[in-house]
Amino acid sequence: MGKMRTHRKSWALALGVFLAAGSAGATRQYRGGAVATAHPMASEAALKMLNKGGNAVDAAVAAAFTLAVVGPYHSGLGGGGFALVHDAKTGETRALDFREVAPQAATRDMYVKDGKVVPGLSTDGALSVAVPGAVAGYLELLEKHGKLSRAVVLQPAIEAARAGFWVSPKYQAIAKARRDCLGQDPEAARIFLVKNAEGALEAPPIGHQLRQPDLARTLTTLAKSGPAPFYTGALAQAMVDTVKAGGGLITREDLKAYKTRTHAPMEGSYRGHRLLTMPPPSAGGVAVVQTLGVLEKLRPQGLAFRDPEEIHLYAETLRRAYVDRTKYLGDPAMVQIPLERLTSSGYLADLAGSIDPKKATPSVSLLPPGEDAGGSTLKKPDAGWYDPSTSSEKKNTTHVSVIDKDGNAVALTTTVNYGFGSCVVAKGTGILLNDQMDDFSARPGVPNAYGLVGYEANSIAPGKVPLSSMSPTLVFSKEDPKKVMLAVGSPGGSTIPTTVIQVISNVVDQGMDVTRAVGEGRVHHQYLPDELWVDQWGLEAATLKALEAKGHKLRRLPAWGDAEAVYSDPRTNLRSAASDPRNEGTALGQD
Ligand code: DON
């Protein structure tokens, strides 16, 4: 408490000095709407919609379609995702789930042979593809909540596909990491790779202009006809033919039966701010609500900045939240989830009470009772143990945050899962298909591409939605619980919820502006592996030592996540936005 006061005072002092010294480089503030996305062309598309009189939904959908063109390594028409949409007029928030579902022919052990998970089968190629939801989701958002026409909103994406975009360092890095996978599919190789002088396939050079005429045609069809061609027409047939030829399972019936789902947003609160986030099939929202709830109980006055005692509590809370994920979470349409209990004040108090402030709880002691598979997981059984330091370039996802001038807000996270998804492109359409099947637990206790371990709740079944970490989140003003103050989200697989939690804490506990909140170093724990991950800007050496002394096993990693956030100041009603400095995005707004 005393520490908090001192901390607050020194922060106020620092802020005063900063302001007195002039605010060169300060976060720009906008009177109009603002947007943050992972690619400049997507942010420009969103801003264009706002400038045409569109609302936050028009802007977010234009950005999402553009990202499908310029960021094929993270999202696309063949993927799926979640969106929170807040309507300032009615004060209502909708959680739209357009995540992929398992095809009807999917089976529990489809990736297991001779009792072992076959490496690559759930991440590379046609068998890894789940029925895509992005097209249904984006177009439903537009139809139900947008103001502009499909033709206007899809125009920037069509233009980007036709004229092309230049290959960035990030594109190149992920294309390099996925070169072999892309090389397996002649259509994907033709579009996303180039041939070198020896005729071998490789990632295109930085600056190479990458055009996608097939995708431009597909987008034009969607602009004209809506989602029907994708789910029941010629595009559906192309996807089915390609997937079938590659040994995958998706049929015309699967596509025809695809439906988005609307959920009540998951509600929580943090230090007087109402939070709305994504409920299951996202496990992310539950972790956000639980972790912030426990931290508030443990430190009612706020968290001191980068204090080892506080980082310890944060890590221990995450460890417990990820245990609950492992035990309970899956597709809510197929699994009974004790959601109310898991987020109730009493339960959060129990979690808080189970934390030893002096030392780390070994994850092995928290394994679900009777789960021998979990125990053997720690002995690294058959699928190869997860090594975050070698897998960082292969994965992706993307997030769009928008708050418009009227206070409407969208937080939309969307993905094809791994970098370039399954690496399969439906012939002649430019549609790159996801590998979202990997988000199921292929076998109880065996970690997936993000090191996440799941059990029965997240096992594969026909028509089931795989559990996700994606956590689009809206934080509301203290003064007006219907007014959005912060829209935030990130990629990063298992690290998504913790990135979101840290951005929120940086704003609420530390009073940081949105640029600083997004740029701060990150710390992550996910129960298994039993390691505390610290990014290169994460913590000072003395703090690391103090954490080690408490029994945490530390792992330094370069960087993860790509937080995209928009802040609307409840007092001034000015907006500011930030795109993660770790990546290549941009934040833009209207003067
Ligand atoms: O839905 C999920 O949790 C994953 N498919 C997200 C993948 C991801 O964020 C990869 N990012 N770096």
Q: Is the pLDDT reported for residue 277 higher than 70?
A: yes
Question: What pLDDT shows up at residue 12?
Answer: 42
Q: What is the pTM of this model?
A: 0.93
* Residue 410 annotated as lining a ligand binding site: no
* Ligand-binding site membership of 480 (annotated): no
Residue nearest to atom 5 of ligand 1 (CA): 417
- Residues 89-108, mean pLDDT to the nearest whole number: 98
493 is in an annotated binding site: yes
pLDDT above 60 (res 19): no
Torsion of CA 273, 4, 287, 314, to 10 degrees: 180
What does the pLDDT average to over 253-267? 98
Where b means 16+ CB within 10 Å and e means fewer, 101-138 reads bbbeebebebbbeeeebeeebbbbbbbbbbbbbbbbbb
Among protein residues, the one whose CA lies closest to atom 2 of ligand 1: 468
pLDDT at position 389 is 62
Q: What is the pLDDT of residue 388?
A: 65
Q: Count Cβ atoms below 10 Å from residue 513 Cβ, excluding itself.
A: 17
- Going by alpha carbons, the residue nearest to atom 1 of ligand 1 is 468
- Per-residue pLDDT at 8: 43
Instruction: Please give the distance, rounded to the nearest whole angstrom, from the Cα atom of residue 41 to the centre of ligand 1.
Output: 22
| pLDDT for 25 beyond 90 | no
What is the position in ligand 1's atom list of the atom closest to the CA of 284?
Answer: 3
Cα gap 338→318, rounded to integer Å: 18
Rounded to the nearest angstrom, the distance between the alpha carbon of 76 and the centre of ligand 1 is 13
- Counting the structural domains of the chain, the total is 1
To the question of whether residue 448 is assigned a binding role by annotation, the answer is: no
| Distance from Cα 435 to the centre of ligand 1, integer Å | 10
232 in a domain, yes or no?
Answer: yes
Average pLDDT over residues 314-336: 96
How far away, in angstroms, is 517 Cα from ligand 1 center?
22
Kindly state the tokens that stand for 553.
């096993």
Report pLDDT for 383. 34
> Two tokens at 544?
């690391």
Pocket test for ligand 1, best of 397, 412, 420 (most atoms within 8 A of CB): 397
- Site to probe by mutation for ligand 1, drawn from 415, 495, 526 as the one with most ligand atoms within 8 Å of Cβ, is 415
Top-confidence residue, 513 or 15: 513
Tokens 């959680």 map to which residue? 95
Cα 513 to ligand 1 centroid, rounded to whole Å? 27
Q: Does a structural domain hold residue 168? A: yes
Burial per residue of 287-326, b for 16 or more beta-carbon CB atoms within 10 angstroms, e otherwise: bbbbbbbbbbbbbeebbbbebbbbbbbbbbbbbbbbbbbb
Return the pLDDT at 455. Answer: 79
Q: So what's the pLDDT on residue 21?
A: 39
Q: Inform me whether the pLDDT recorded for 161 exceeds 50.
A: yes
Pocket of ligand 1 from Cβ distances under 6 Å:
395-397, 415, 417, 436, 439, 468-470, 491-493, 496
Please write the tens of the pLDDT for every residue from 492-523: 999 999 999 999 999 999 999 999 999 999 99
Question: Distance from the CA of 77 to the center of ligand 1, in angstroms?
Answer: 16
Is 285 assigned to a binding site? no
Ligand 1: which residue has its CA nearest to atom 8? Answer: 493
For position 372, what pLDDT does the model report?
Answer: 40
Residue 434 belongs to a domain: yes
Residue 471 maps to a domain: no
Q: What are the CA-CA distances from residue 447 to residues 366, 375, 495, 575 (Å)?
A: 17, 12, 14, 40
Model pLDDT, residue 175: 97
Nearest atom (ligand 1) to Cα of 81: 1
For residue 571, being part of any structural domain is answered with no
* pLDDT score at 154: 99
Q: Which amino acid is at 82?
A: F
Q: Tell which atom from ligand 1 comes closest to the C-alpha of 466.
A: 1
Question: Could you read off the pLDDT of 216-252 as tens digits, one per residue?
Answer: 999 999 999 999 999 999 999 999 999 999 999 999 9
Over residues 447-457, the mean pLDDT reads: 80
Tell me how far apart the alpha carbons of residues 569 and 414 are, in angstroms, rounded to a whole number. 26
pLDDT at 380: 35
User: Looking at residue 9, what is its pLDDT?
Assistant: 39
Taking CB atoms within 8 Å and a gap of at least 24, the contacts of 62-65 are 62/153, 62/154, 62/156, 62/157, 63/35, 63/37, 63/400, 63/402, 64/134, 64/138, 64/400, 64/412, 64/414, 65/138, 65/153, 65/154, 65/156, 65/157, 65/219
User: Does the pLDDT value for residue 162 go beyond 70?
Assistant: yes
Q: How confident is the model at residue 13 (pLDDT cuts 50, 70, 90)?
A: very low
Region 147-151: what's the mean pLDDT?
A: 98
Choosing from 66, 291, 397, 413, the catalytic residue is: 397
Exposed/middle/buried for residue 584 (C-beta within 10 Å: 0-12, 13-18, 19+): middle
- Rounded distance from Cα 541 to ligand 1 centre (Å): 30
**What pLDDT shows up at residue 147?**
98
- How many A from CA of 406 to the centre of ligand 1? 31
Mean pLDDT of 91-109: 97
Concatenated DSSP letters of 328-351: H-S-TTTS---HHHHTSHHHHHHH
479 near 572, Cβ under 8 Å? no
Q: Is 406 known as a binding-site position? A: no
Q: Which atom of ligand 1 is nearest to the CA of 438?
A: 5
Q: Which of 469, 498, 526, 560 to mutate to test the pocket of ligand 1 (most atoms within 8 A of CB)?
A: 469
Q: Return the pLDDT at 391.
A: 53
Judge whether 196 is annotated as a binding position.
no
Average pLDDT over residues 67-96: 98
| 397 classed as catalytic | yes
Pocket test for ligand 1, best of 450, 465, 498, 524 (most atoms within 8 A of CB): 450
Residue 163 lies in a domain: yes
What's at 255, amino acid-wise?
Answer: L
Average model confidence (pLDDT) across the chain: 92
Mean pLDDT computed over 192-215: 98
Atom of ligand 1 nearest to the CA of 491: 9
457 in a structural domain: no
Q: Ligand 1 atom closest to Cα of 561?
A: 12
List beta partners, residue 473.
277, 488
Under 8 Å between Cβ of 180 and 119: no
Per-residue pLDDT tens for 390-447? 555 556 899 999 999 999 999 999 999 999 999 999 999 999 999 999 999 988 777 7
Give 37-46 pLDDT, tens digit per residue.
999 999 999 9
Q: In whole angstroms, what is the distance from residue 82 CA to residue 75 CA?
A: 12
pLDDT confidence of 449, banded at 50, 70, 90? confident
Nearest atom in ligand 1 to 99's CA = 1
pLDDT at 377: 39
Upper half-sphere CA count for residue 432 (Cβ side, 13 Å): 29
The reply, when asked if residue 435 is annotated as ligand binding, is no
Q: In which domain, by residue range, is 97 found?
A: 2-262+395-444
